[in-house]
Amino acid sequence: LEIFNKNSTELKTKLKQLSQAGKVVALVPTMGALHSGHLTLVSEAKKCSDYVVVSIFVNPKQFERSQDFDSYPDRLENDLKLLKELQVDLVYTPNSEEFYKQPFFCEVNLPALTTKLCGATRPGHFPGVALVITKLFNQIKPDLAFFGLKDYQQYVFIKQLAKDLDLTPEVRGVDTVREGSGLALSSRNLNLNEEQRKKIAPELHKALSSIATAIKGGGDHNEIVSKAKQDLLNSGFNKVDYLEVLQDDLSDYNGDYRHARIFVAAYIDQVRLIDNIAIC
């Protein structure tokens, strides 16, 4: 496992040699604190490429509150151990002064895709993600890049970003990894107590599945969704940020449920959980 902590000449030479040798390079961008969801992305990347690069960079531009940034877990040592076990080829861990050399002016955004769902309550978050991903794609120039479909909105706008700006990689989504209860894996699950995790949180995936069944059964989607929202609140969620049906490309639902997904973000106390599933 080779570790590079800046976009150095050595890193550029290494990547150029791989490209000249016709090797397929895959990138898995992360912010560290790796869990099995990330490791699934790495395994998928390994299957499809000759050389896997994992970036670990806690991107300050995607945090709305500096407090969240400061409290983001730093588990570099453990992350490196896990990546070594998975036989990842290269880890890129730039620091933020290097990555965003001052003065820095650039912004990247795709408002049509970044202002709905999670973007509605966190307006600076997705532009921050779009910026870091543009820079990482330009620096590493991967052939493939892997993202979890749990963050489906992020996956969609990054795919569009790569297309719009002619960035090198083909962007691929990897299915959400779930616990036996249906709960999607997330580092935020660690902030739930035993009862919340076992009894309340799994209701999120159950709600999505029952909405999917009801829509396929021909019910009115607005009525189905508002009933499911009330059920979530009754089952112990204290706030539902959104529960929405959209087409796969994030446009408004047009009744074609074969190409539509259901999206949810809801709170158990202070813990915000998100999930989404395809209807078919």
Which residue stretch of 23-31, 44-52, 106-114, 231-239 sits at the interface with ligand PAF (rule: CB under 6 A)?
23-31
Binding of residue 45 to ligand PAF (CB under 6 A): no
Taking the least distance from each CB to ligand PAF, the nearer of 59 and 114 is: 59
Give DSSP secondary structure letters for 218-265. Answer: T--HHHHHHHHHHHHHHTT-SEEEEEEEEETTSPBP-S-GGGEEEEEE
Binding of residue 185 to ligand PAF (CB under 6 A): no
Which residues participate in catalysis according to the annotation?
38
Taking the least distance from each CB to ligand PAF, the nearer of 49 and 55 is: 55
N- to C-terminal Cα separation, the chain: 40
Q: Which position among 7, 40, 49, 59 is part of the footprint of ligand PAF (CB under 6 A)?
A: 59
Taking the least distance from each CB to ligand PAF, the nearer of 29 and 127 is: 29
Are 38 and 29 contacting, i.e. CB atoms less than 8 angstroms apart? Answer: no
Q: Name the minimum Å distance from CB 272 to ligand PAF.
A: 14
Q: Give the list of residues 6+ apart from residue 111 with CB closer than 8 angstroms, or none.
A: none
Q: Name the minimum Å distance from CB 269 to ligand PAF.
A: 23
CA 71 to chain centre: 19
Q: Name the minimum Å distance from CB 29 to ligand PAF.
A: 4
Q: Give the list of residues 6+ apart from residue 112 with CB closer than 8 angstroms, or none.
A: none
Helices H / strands E in the chain, number of each:
12, 9
Residues that bind ligand PAF (CB under 6 A): 29-31, 59, 62, 129, 132, 151, 154
